[in-house]
Structure 1
Amino acid sequence: MKNTILLVEDDVKLSALTADFLRINDFEVTIIENGLEAIEFVKKQTPMAVILDIMLPGVDGLTVCRSLRETYNGPILMLTALDDDIDEVVGLETGADDYLTKPIKPRVLLAHLRALLRRIEAIEQPSQPKTPKLLGKNLAIDPKSRTVTVANEMVHLTTAEYNLLWLLAEKSGEVLSREELHRKTFRIEYDGLDRSIDLRISRLRKKLGDDPRVPFIIKTIRGEGYLLAQ
């Protein structure tokens, strides 16, 4: 499903309008109204991206996002009618790559979707070496297969998490500022308030088994940024 977008939205009229607009712009769209059905769909298929509403009948979008991240590595763009910073933080912590508040104009949604796909494509370009990168005694990153192991155990990372880890690995032993990480990840300047990088670092540490109180893999350099230990 190389060019297919999964749209998980229970508002029939809104989903139809959104899907029509995306199809006009050369995307295939599959619409699902139920969270459980969306989870089952992604287990069997691999859409290019998922656009996911938070307010769904039965299983809410946050739960769906968390479940999808167990197996799905592609981008997830979350939508909600709620306008609350806490919801945004929770959405990002469960694995969403972007977050938009409804009502949203179709062209704005399309712009965010394309930007998200470009970010991932740009970082996935074959400029990376083909041999595994070994960091310290436990961490190994294989750019050819885009896999990560810690103490020889495979670690499941989302596309966004892997890309951030690779940015740190490219300059392991050097401090990378939030500004630089944000700019390379999102292709826009850091405004000093966005917590997306911090949240992704937090998720990475948890998956890598890195104690946030005394991290030994990804270190916080106060006032400067983050460093991936060699």
Structure 2
Amino acid sequence: MEEVASVAAPGTVLIVEDEPKLAAVLQDYLRAAGFGTEIVADGRLVLDAIRQRPPVLVLLDLMLPGRDGVSLCRELRGFSRVPVIMVTARVEEVERLIGLEAGADDYVCKPYRPREVVARVQAQLRRQAWDQARQGPSAAEAGPGGLLIDDEALRAHWQGAALDLTPAEFRLLRHLARSAGRVFSRDQLLDVLHEDGRAVTDRAVDSHIRNLRRKLEAALPGSDPIRSVYGVGYAWEGWVEA
């Protein structure tokens, strides 16, 4: 297998992976999902490949010959905002946080299910589309709006549709949306779930996030503005109306 394919098709996902079998499996699944693919196996070739044939997303292995994924991501962020999903077998939380500080958008830990990787790729590209719609001149045409929170009435609307939220769900959503893009740990989100300080576990956060996602998806089918960061927590990635 060549380290860098000669042609990158529109809608190409760049797979940066030095294990040929893993790269081939990811390539097969991504192609089945309609993506073009390009494979780079050497860290020293990654940035030139991105500059010459800009991909729509980069799947970046952390451990590479020639150069590591964290330093690549840091340099990449100096000239590109292309979404980056780090793929790694180093599952320590510190490594995840280092990667996020370097500019990675998400993590997938080995061993992984290829379908999960494809789902995360699709989620990142939806997020990018929302960001572009928010920033572009035609944002008003993209839908009736973003997230609107009424603190006085304790109500929230997503894309113009009212959300039927419990008080805990409302507080959780409001906290995430106030710092859109910031990743909150489960422990941090536990502090806002119940104002009376009752004892709850971090599983309660996951349960509320599932409910929020279900209600947001009902308001706008196909939307998933809450990003999961494996082993860390959650972030709001939709746009928020002033």
Fold shared, TM-score > 0.5 on shorter chain: yes
User: TM class, shorter-chain normalised?
Assistant: 0.5 to 0.7
Unaligned runs of 5+ in 2: 1-8, 140-145, 150-172, 182-212, 217-222
Q: Aligned residues, how many?
A: 157
Q: Alpha-carbon deviations, 1:48-99, whole Å to 9, x = none?
A: 1000000111201111111111111110011100111101100000010111
2: CA distance between counterparts of 1:195 and 1:21? 26
Q: Under a length normalisation based on structure 1, what TM-score does the superposition of the two structures give? A: 0.59
Q: Residue 62 of structure 1 corresponds to which residue in structure 2?
A: 70
Whether the aligned pair in 1 keeps the contact of 2:226 and 2:234 (CA below 8 Å) is no
Equivalent residues of 1:21, 1:106 under 8 A apart: yes
Matching of residue 194 in structure 1 with residue 202 in structure 2? no
Change (3 A) 1:40 1:177: same
Aligned twin of 1:38: 46
Structure 1, unaligned runs of 5 or more: 131-142, 144-166, 201-227
SS of structure 2 residue aligned to 1:125: helix
Rounded Cα–Cα distance in structure 2 between residues aligned with 1:128 and 1:17: 36
Q: Sort the Cα spacing of 1:186 and 1:96 in 2 relative to 1 into closer, same or farther, 3 A.
A: farther
Secondary structure of 1:117's match?
A: helix
TM-fit CA distance, 1:123:
2.4
Q: Look up the SS of the partner of 1:30 in the other structure.
A: strand
Structure 2 residue 115 is the aligned partner of structure 1 residue 110: no
Report the secondary structure of 1:74's partner residue: coil
Kindly provide the amino acid, as one letter, of the partner of residue 48 in structure 1: V
Residue 178 (structure 1) shift: 3.9
User: Which residue identity is paired with 2:233?
Assistant: D
Mapped to 2, the partners of 1:178 and 1:84 lie a distance apart of 26
Percent identical residues: 34
Question: For 1:119-138, what aligned pairs fall within 5 Å after superposition?
Answer: 119-125=127-133, 128-129=136-137
Q: 1:179 aligns with which of 176, 180, 186?
A: 176
